[in-house]
Structure 1
Amino acid sequence: MYVVKILSKLKSLVHIVSFTSIITFSNFSFAEKLGWPEKEELTFGFIKLTDMAPIAIAYENGYFEEEGLYVTIEAQANWKVLLDGVIDGRLDGAHMLAGQPIAATIGYGTQADIITPFSMDLNGNAITVSNTIWEKMKVNVPKIADGRPLHPIKADALKPVVEEFKAKGKPFKMGMVFPVSTHNYELRYWLAAGGIHPGFYAPHKGDTSGKLQADALLSVTPPPQMPATLEAGTIYGYCVGEPWNQQAVFKGIGVPVVTDYEIWKNNPEKVFGITKAFAEKYPNTTIRLTRALIRAAKWLDENNNANRPAAVKILSQSNYVGADYDVIANSMTGTFEYEKGDKRSVPDFNVFFRHFATYPYYSDAIWYLTQMRRWGQISKDKSDEWYHETAKKVYRPDIYTKAALSLIKEGKMDVKDFPDFSTEDGYRSPQTHFIDDIIYDGSKPNEYINQFKIGLKQGDTI
């Protein structure tokens, strides 16, 4: 194995020397800017979800090696173990919940300077309920002409079920993957839009349960354990990424009722997280790993998802996601199955590169911060400027831009693949595609928070 590794390094070194020589003759200053990786051997962590795909593809397609990086990829037991691994240096970087670098930076849960130069995907999650709950819900769901449920299904259909549980003195329990996960905020958003209070956090009072004043009680369950926990009756529904919603369909134990694409069309999902110290100590390594991930993301989406079957085959390996090919393919190849047999076309259920998915927008970070404030994880009011400054500490489009421009100069990418870097300010245009029709403008965070009927507003405390 050691000899093979040395030969692999020599092969990649020859490639880089040859390539850099070409660049040197045509544009010497650019060759200097790209730079050699200061650290070549890296270990990256991930959780067994299909949206870790850019890391797997960058490895399997040789993009890391082409950057002079020799990467080991390790599955982690849960999101806390993964975050701790990046903080303590056991991992050089990781597939992360978008909320993790943000929460660490503001000191919620743990304190650490984590940044992201790369957004890993859009969409990819869903909310699943048990068969029993679905039977109670679906009488409240409008139908289309062929008798199937009309989508999107709002939490209005679940509210009478939750009220029935409350009347009987039974807590209505649901699972999400981590307190600062997209899944927690999406599940809360969907419930609240239907008049179901998902509960407040009060860290200033020592209460981090998130269950104060709650109609539905949300708790943490690691993604791969969601179906088994649902089947055991410990929870009645959950929000998770794939393939763990489709797994419930295949096992016949639950029904995904709404995707996050329907809750917020083209919402940001995971990010690739590294410490600020890593980026400062190894700037060339950071740019090169970002280049590899950008190339992988493009490969995943190019030619109308033509490479997705090959990606599914890779992800189904036990060292990656380890679920059956058909389970992963159910969502990764442009479809999504709700009730068993009710498979519908959702070409953007998983987006890795389209719609500038990989660009780390400040406004994406600010949305997470608004939800942290809405549900009490941020105890006190913050000024709009605080939101903007915090986003800029965590999301690093400057690193991304250097990586992207170098790929464009090499002919590996086209300028049209990216935002206009000369004018891009890091804020998406106001977004209108939410299940409750509330418009999100990342430049006005407090104005956004004040629109919600359920949740903390400016001036509110728990």
Structure 2
Amino acid sequence: MCLDDPTHSRRDILKLAALLSAAGALPLLSSLQARAAAEPDAPVRIGYLPITDATPLLVAHANGLFEAEGIQAERPVLLRSWAQVIEAFISGQVNVIHLLSPMTVWARYGSKVPAKVVAWNHVGGSGLTVAPEIADVRQLGGKSVAIPFWYSIHNVVLQQLLRDNGLRAVSRAVGAALAADEVNLVVLPPSDMPPALASKRIHGYIVAEPFNALAENLKVGRVQRFTGDVWRNHACCVVFMHEHDLERRPQWSQKVVNAIVKAQLWTREHRAEAAQLLSKAGANRYTPHAPEVLGRVLAPGAEEQQAYLASGAIRHADWQERRIDFQPYPYPSYTEELVRRLKDTLIEGNNAFLASLDPRQVASDLVDDRFVRQALAEVGGLQAFGLAEGFQRSEEISP
């Protein structure tokens, strides 16, 4: 998206809101049903944004992991906005996507999209970046901060940080007067955020990588806090698949998840190589990002870790969080806590459906973990990802 055309960004946001309503989704769901009937054995068709959240899907494609499982995969489709991702998925143009975890709640319960979370795509991988002159979250009072979308872990974590620093999130027109303790939240596509920060249109943004690293490289912003240092090992994007594939093609679905889990393992062991693979210098040119920007996220040096500890971007050294990490199991405790927090988060638009959601029921219904459990068993279990065995955990949130 081009910052010089804010109406285009606004139009895209409105389109996404329309798509994720029951009425707006209906025509696309009809298209999905028609496609499924016409092509019951469709190959893997991935839709993605050029952010590090997409890493496992792209690595699985680049390294031939889908073919190694005995299924075909087309070249992943690069999309430019969450609206495009949702539209392509609901209409059946793509059948495997990475999606913001709160957006899956909205999709399934707000617009009745028949799809489920089958795995986590990554953990962490996001941060709050602020203008160089901002030294403390409290200095964001009276200013604007960008989020990628209302239904995002970024919005949830940001509002927690603001509350803990005596600030209130509001949604006002651009240029509207703000009280000293108010922070105006504006929705921007990730690619628009660094230019908006550089031009002082906003004073901060919270978003997926590599747009925090990009601001650092361009020297237009600094990382105030990593989201994974606020909510330990939180999911950001998850793998979302159509329910009809999960039910009618369970073997195919299993192989899709197998490939993604193996891609996550490979990435953990080949971080610098993954940065090159995803970059504009890679053979497939999956993203427009330079290898050094992606390397700063996927394979940061020890000196950077020390700098973040000194600045306060990392406060929980004992958590041993990576800037981005990968593990596929969708812990129910996370989904339950996410639903609880969404109910108390400022979200524009029709969010009335949230009030009736039961966190435990959502964790059971939204997620289908049978495929990822089997995939994990085949690679050595959660221990292969440096985690304790067992599919339960307690959420740690400490702003």
Q: TM-score, with normalisation over the residues of structure 1? A: 0.67
Distance 2:203 2:100 in 1: 23
Measured after TM superposition, the shift of residue 379 of structure 1 is 4.1
Measured after TM superposition, the shift of residue 243 of structure 1 is 1.0
Distance 1:296 1:173 in 2: 38
Measured after TM superposition, the shift of residue 287 of structure 1 is 0.8
Provide closer, same or farther for how the CA distance between residues 374 and 414 of structure 1 changes in structure 2, counting only shifts above 3 A.
Answer: closer
Residue 276 of structure 2 corresponds to residue 313 of structure 1: yes
1:378-426 CA deviation, whole Å, 9 max, x = no partner?
548857x821111211111122223333xx2xxx5457437888x64xx
Conserved? CA contact 1:69–1:289, under 8 Å: no
The equivalent residue for 1:350 is 324
Distance 2:80 2:382 in 1: 39
Provide closer, same or farther for how the CA distance between residues 39 and 72 of structure 1 changes in structure 2, counting only shifts above 3 A.
Answer: farther
Residue 334 of structure 2 corresponds to residue 332 of structure 1: no
Distance 2:168 2:240 in 1: 31
Distance 2:260 2:170 in 1: 37
1:209-257 CA deviation, whole Å, 9 max, x = no partner?
xx99981111111112210121122211000111111111111111111
Residue 218 of structure 2 corresponds to residue 246 of structure 1: no
Residue 337 of structure 2 corresponds to residue 367 of structure 1: yes
The alignment's C-alpha RMSD in Å is: 3.1
Matches within 5 A, 1:32-431: 39=41, 41-67=43-69, 68-107=71-110, 110-132=111-133, 134=134, 137=135, 157-159=136-138, 161-163=139-141, 165=142, 172-199=143-170, 215-302=182-269, 307-317=270-280, 319-335=285-301, 336=304, 348-352=322-326, 357-375=327-345, 377=347, 378-379=351-352, 386-405=358-377, 408=378, 412-413=379-380, 416-417=383-384, 424=391, 427-428=392-393, 430-431=394-395
Conserved? CA contact 2:147–2:207, under 8 Å: yes
Distance 1:348 1:420 in 2: 17
Distance 1:212 1:265 in 2: 32
**Structure 1 gap segments, 5+ residues each:** 1-37, 138-156, 166-171, 202-210, 436-462
Conserved? CA contact 1:50–1:321, under 8 Å: no
Conserved? CA contact 1:361–1:395, under 8 Å: no
Distance 1:330 1:117 in 2: 29
1:179-223 CA deviation, whole Å, 9 max, x = no partner?
11111112112111211111389xxxxxxxxx9998111111111
1:95-139 CA deviation, whole Å, 9 max, x = no partner?
1111121111120xx33122111101111111011124x2xx3xx
Distance 1:313 1:376 in 2: 38
User: Relative to structure 2, which stretch is displaced further, 374-383 or 232-241?
Assistant: 374-383
The alignment covers a number of residue pairs equal to: 340
Q: TM-score, with normalisation over the residues of structure 2? A: 0.77
Pick the structure with greater CA Rg: 1
Distance 2:395 2:51 in 1: 27
Distance 1:113 1:192 in 2: 35
**Structure 2 gap segments, 5+ residues each:** 1-39
One-letter amino acid of the structure 2 residue matched with residue 358 of structure 1: P
Provide closer, same or farther for how the CA distance between residues 323 and 420 of structure 1 changes in structure 2, counting only shifts above 3 A.
Answer: closer
Secondary structure of 1:131's match? coil
